[in-house]
């Protein structure tokens, strides 16, 4: 996945997608098995995703996405805030009905 694209070319969507990917990898965010597009909080804290992000950033694998470490942290915090539910809203709805 190495490319020569400078960091300033990564758009907001790409930053968002990369943050989500990190959060999924650490189990900070999870995806519903039944509703693939549903995202909610996993078993791991935000710190787990931040730690992985930090390691990847230092290894240089996120340098084409984020212009700075701070930018990466705020992207991770944003996706975490965005997906605040503890379980899939669609599954919860089914159980309630």
CA-CA-CA-CA torsion sign (30, 33, 34, 37): positive
**Segment near Zn ion (CB under 5 A); pick from 16-24, 26-34, 52-60, 67-75:** 26-34
Six-digit token string for 78: 């944003």
State which of residues 17, 32, 48, 51 lies at the interface with Zn ion (CB under 5 A): 32
Q: By CB under 5 A, which span of 12-20, 22-30, 43-51, 82-90 interacts with Zn ion? A: 82-90
- Shortest gap between Cβ of 84 and Zn ion (angstroms)? 16
Cα–Cα distance, 96 to 7 (Å, whole number): 45
- Looking at residues 37 to 66 of the shown chain, list those that interact with Zn ion (rule: CB under 5 A): 38
Query: Which runs of consecutive H residues, i.e. helices, occur in the chain?
Result: 12-26, 46-59, 69-82, 89-96
Q: Which residues contact 37 (CB under 8 A, 6 or more apart)?
A: 31
| Region of 5-13, 16-24, 31-39, 72-80 interacting with Zn ion (CB under 5 A) | 31-39
Applying CB under 5 A, does 31 fall inside the site for Zn ion? no
The single residue among 10, 50, 73, 88 that binds Zn ion, judged by CB under 5 A, is 88
């Amino acid at each position: 996945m190495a490319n020569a694209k400078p960091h300033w070319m990564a758009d907001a969507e790409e930053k968002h997608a990369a943050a989500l990917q990190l959060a999924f990898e650490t189990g900070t965010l999870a995806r519903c098995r039944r509703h693939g597009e549903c995202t909610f909080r996993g078993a791991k804290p935000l710190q787990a995703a931040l730690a992985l992000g930090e390691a990847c950033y230092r290894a240089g694998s996120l340098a084409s996405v984020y212009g700075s470490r701070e930018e990466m942290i705020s992207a991770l915090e944003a996706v975490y805030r965005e997906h605040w539910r503890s379980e899939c809203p669609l599954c919860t709805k089914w159980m309630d009905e």
